[in-house]
């Protein structure tokens, strides 16, 4: 086994944390309403879940010498990543007409999706490009977590608001989104300090996380509303 892979021997255990966050975050709005969810939610939810399961399995396999299985599952992961990207982008027009959300939130969250999904796609592409460089490949794969975990973490952080009966949940959304971005940036900062290197994968994910601080402001911007309406023909 490549000695460089020893550093990732227990990464699969750490990856369980964001996986649990995503499952719990989407528990009320997807998993507990599975039978009544529209097909587009299933396409995104199931491909994303399967992708994450493979993301957890991959470092376990390769660090234990199962290179052939790692490569086989890697090809399957590419197919699943394509499903996540297509279904994620495809959901944006539906979000823009979701009357359960305030108008500003509709446009703001749609802008956020238009950053997170391409960011995830870029990280996957770079992971493929760097497949023969284990350290770079691993970091790009790990960075996909930060593009994928934000929607689940945001929803999970909203749960206490409902439990304690916050009167105006909509008013707390910008704060919860901002907190999600701060958590991402702090974890990425810790990784860069620990490795004593600001890897481009982590830097790109940190820049993407900054958008979590301003989606409601973007949602109020007339220029973005005009672009979104034209882009998605609303």
Q: How far is CA 162 from CA 155, 184, 186, in A?
A: 11, 23, 26
- Provide the percentage of residues in the chain whose pLDDT is more than 90: 75
Residues 6+ apart with CB under 8 A from 122: 204
- Please tell me the distance from the alpha carbon of residue 88 to that of residue 91, in angstroms, as a whole number: 5
- Which of 13-51 are b and which e, b meaning 16 or more Cβ less than 10 Å from the residue's Cβ? eebeebbebbeebbeeebeeeeeeeeeebebbbbbbbbb
In the predicted structure, residue 160 carries a pLDDT above the cut 80 = no
Report the domain count for the chain: 1
**Model pLDDT, residue 52:** 96
In the predicted structure, residue 147 carries a pLDDT above the cut 70 = yes
Kindly report, residue by residue over 201-212, the tens digit of the pLDDT.
999 999 999 999
The parent domain of residue 97 ranges over: 3-231
Count of CB atoms situated within 10 Å of the CB of 187:
19
**What are the backbone angles phi and psi of residue 132, rounded to the nearest 5°?**
-90, 5
Phi-psi category of 198—alpha, beta or left, where left has phi over 0 and alpha has psi -120 to 50?
A: beta
Greatest mean pLDDT among 40-44, 66-70, 130-134, 184-188 lies in: 184-188
Residues 6+ apart with CB under 8 A from 87: 40, 43, 44, 47, 48
- Of 14-28, 125-139, 164-178, the one with minimum mean pLDDT is 164-178
Does residue 188 contact residue 205 with C-beta atoms inside 8 Å? yes
Residues 6+ apart with CB under 8 A from 89: 113, 114, 117
**Model pLDDT, residue 116:** 96
Kindly report, residue by residue over 17-66, the tens digit of the pLDDT.
999 999 999 998 899 999 999 998 999 999 999 999 999 999 999 999 99
The predicted model scores a pTM of 0.92
How much is the average pLDDT of 167-177? 74
The confidence band for 98, taking pLDDT boundaries of 50, 70 and 90, is: confident
């Amino acid at each position: 086994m490549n000695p460089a892979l020893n550093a990732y021997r227990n990464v699969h255990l750490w990856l369980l944390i964001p996986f649990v966050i995503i499952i719990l975050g989407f528990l009320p709005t997807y998993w507990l309403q599975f039978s009544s969810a529209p097909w587009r939610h299933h396409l995104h939810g199931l491909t994303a879940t399967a992708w994450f399961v493979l993301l957890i399995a991959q470092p376990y396999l390769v660090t234990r010498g199962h290179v052939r299985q790692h490569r086989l599952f890697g090809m399957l992961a590419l197919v699943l990543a394509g499903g996540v990207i297509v279904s994620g982008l495809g959901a944006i027009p539906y979000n823009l007409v979701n009357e359960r959300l305030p108008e500003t939130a509709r446009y703001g969250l749609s802008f956020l999706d238009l950053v997170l999904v391409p960011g995830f796609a870029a990280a996957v592409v770079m992971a493929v490009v760097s497949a023969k460089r284990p350290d770079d490949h691993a970091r790009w794969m790990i960075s996909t977590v930060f593009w994928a975990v934000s929607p689940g973490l945001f929803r999970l952080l909203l749960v206490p608001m409902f439990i304690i009966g916050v009167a105006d949940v909509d008013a707390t959304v910008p704060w919860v989104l901002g907190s999600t971005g701060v958590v991402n940036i702090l974890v990425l900062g810790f990784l860069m300090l620990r490795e004593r290197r600001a890897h481009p994968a982590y830097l790109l994910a940190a820049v993407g996380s900054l958008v979590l601080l301003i989606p409601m402001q973007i949602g109020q911007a007339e220029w973005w509303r005009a672009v979104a309406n034209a882009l998605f023909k609303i």
